[in-house]
Amino acid sequence: MNYSEEELIREAFQAQKRAYAPYSGFEVGAALLTADGKIYGGCNIENASYGACNCAERTAFFRALYDGERDFSAIAIVGKPKTSDTFDYCAPCGICRQVMAEFCDPENFRIILARNEEDCRVYSLKELLPLSFTGSSMKETQNPND
């Protein structure tokens, strides 16, 4: 990856400032790195009809996908309540993990959960979404051990 984890985390903090979260007060930012080194930021965007809320990670993915991007290397995620001064590791929700599974390599895609630029935990998609359901799960012959 051309970008360092630190740089990607910095971009996620920039994105977090754009969060629209008047209902939960929990503000999240994500920075998605494409295989060719572009970064797409995303923030959570809430709605009075709660089911219409969109997570920061999916905002970043959908922006990139609309631009035609299909190869992704990593995503950095940061989040905290508006009222708090410190960030704790913010793990992606199940729906966001499923969106990642549609487009990202389970072994190689890195998910970076950061408290600050120096303090982060890095996971593969496979670690956060084992035994995932994907397009290949619907093929007639499949080996569950694959």
Minimum distance from CB of 41 to ligand THU (Å)?
Answer: 12
What is the distance between the alpha carbons of residues 47 and 132, in angstroms, rounded to a whole number? Answer: 29
What 3-state DSSP class applies to 96?
Answer: helix
Which has the closest alpha carbon to 95: 54, 131, 66?
A: 54
Task: Please report the beta strands in the chain, taking only residues with DSSP state E, as ranges in sequence order.
Answer: 26-34, 39-43, 72-81, 110-114, 120-124
Residue of 11, 27, 46, 57 marked active site: 57
Q: What is the largest CA-CA distance in the chain?
A: 51
Which has the closest alpha carbon to 28: 80, 64, 89, 74?
A: 80
Minimum distance from CB of 10 to ligand THU (Å)?
Answer: 18
By CB under 6 A, is residue 90 in contact with ligand THU? Answer: yes
By CB under 6 A, is residue 89 in contact with ligand THU? Answer: no
Question: Does the annotation count 140 as an active-site position?
Answer: no
Over the window 30 to 69, marking each residue x when it contacts ligand THU by CB under 6 A and - when it does not, the resulting string is --------------x-x------x-xxx------------
By CB under 6 A, is residue 16 in contact with ligand THU? Answer: no
Contact residues: ligand THU, CB under 6 A: 21, 24, 26, 28, 44, 46, 53, 55-57, 77, 79, 90, 92-93
